[in-house]
Each structure stands twice: as C-alpha cells, then as structure tokens.
Amino acid sequence: MTPKVIILFSGKRKCGKDFLTDHLKTRFGDECEIIKISQPIKSHWAKEKCLNLDELLSDGEYKEQYRLDMIKWSDEMREHDYGCFCKAACQNATDKPIWIVSDIRRQTDIQWFKENYGHLIKTIRLKADEETRKERGFKFKSGVDDVVSECGLDDYSEWDLIIDNGKNRKTLDKQLSSVMALINSL
C-alpha cells in the first residue's frame, strides 16, 4: 500500500533535519514513518567495512569519519541508477499514511519521487544561518560541503515550504504547525 502523503525534507548539514523530523515523528506517532535515503547507503557501508550501523546513523562524529567515502561510493552507484537508494529506502519503509523523507539531497532524488509517487509529494527546505550551524558542530569540509550531495538543491526553487531553523527561527510549535498545514493541504 502506498502512503497518502510523502514529505521530502532537504537542507544543509546541521540545519536540523533530524531534529525537526524526529519531532514530527513524535507528533504523528504511528501515522508516520521516517525514511532516510542515507539508510541503505550506511547499512551497505557498515556491512562492507564492519562498522557500527547505529553509530553511523546517529548524530555524532563517527559518521563524519566515513562521510567522504560514502559520498564517493554512493555517487558511483547513482551513475548507474539515480534512484537506487530512494528505491531501497522506500522498499524498507513500513505501511504508514505519512512518509517523511529526512534527507533529500539531489534534483534526481526529487525526480525519482515525482516519477514514482507524483501528486503525493510535498517538498520542504530547511534553512539555518552558518553561525548557528557552526554552533551545532558544522565545520566546512572540502569534498563534502562543496559537492553535489550538499549543493545539488541550492538552486531548486519549487519548494512547497521553506522553514527557517536558524537564529531567527520561530518556535518549534510554529515550525511543526506549518508542516502539519502543508500535509493537511493535500
């Protein structure tokens, strides 16, 4: 069974994608499934290199050690099939009315979801000023922050909603309400 709505979240490192999508999950509970495109990438990588998958998936230094290698490897895979990780992530998802994809990074990610789920899609861009992102642990890294996985959607302009999660952000309640309103608009 397909979901009733799929929300695609995008945003740069440490803008708060996990933070906001985790809070949405708390609000929606059993109605909602969080999908991470990075999940099939990380589980493959963990298996191949005998790494701790939970650590790779969590918000810590551990994943930063492997980010560059994972980007390179996953880009090679995408050259053969741009939707391979989107497809794998969705195949692993459970049957819930709301899917929240927390880490859309490329135009081709949006393309794949549109091709496969069309009118169910809503897109959200999270923004945060660089100072705030730095306070949250962001450090510019060449090969990570200046490549397509981080910048591929900088020029995308068709977001259904843009949420500021930087120093001028609204309250969490208002941020979440704006997402709820978007979902209810479908």
Give the interface with ligand ATP as residue ranges (CB under 6 A).
11, 13-19, 59, 136, 165, 169
φ/ψ region of 147 (left if φ > 0, alpha if ψ in -120 to 50, else beta) reads beta
54 known ligand binder: no
Q: Supply the minimum distance, in Å, between the C-beta of residue 121 and ligand ATP.
A: 20
Nearest partner of 36 among 13, 17, 12, 62, judged by Cα: 17
Please classify residue 108 by burial: count the beta carbons closer than 10 Å to its beta carbon, then call 0-12 exposed, 13-18 middle and 19+ buried: middle
Judged by beta carbon, residue 87 or residue 136, the one nearer ligand ATP is 136
Judged by beta carbon, residue 96 or residue 125, the one nearer ligand ATP is 125
Q: Supply the minimum distance, in Å, between the C-beta of residue 123 and ligand ATP.
A: 16
Taking CA atoms, 126 is separated from 68, 70, 86, 161, in Å, by: 22, 23, 20, 9
Judged by beta carbon, residue 19 or residue 82, the one nearer ligand ATP is 19
Q: Which two tokens stand for residue 52?
A: 């701790």
Q: What angle do CA 39, 45, 50 make, to 5 degrees?
A: 120
16 known ligand binder: yes
Judged by beta carbon, residue 14 or residue 78, the one nearer ligand ATP is 14
Q: Supply the minimum distance, in Å, between the C-beta of residue 47 and ligand ATP.
A: 21
167 known ligand binder: no
114 known ligand binder: no
Q: Which residues line the annotated binding site?
A: 12-18, 136, 165, 175
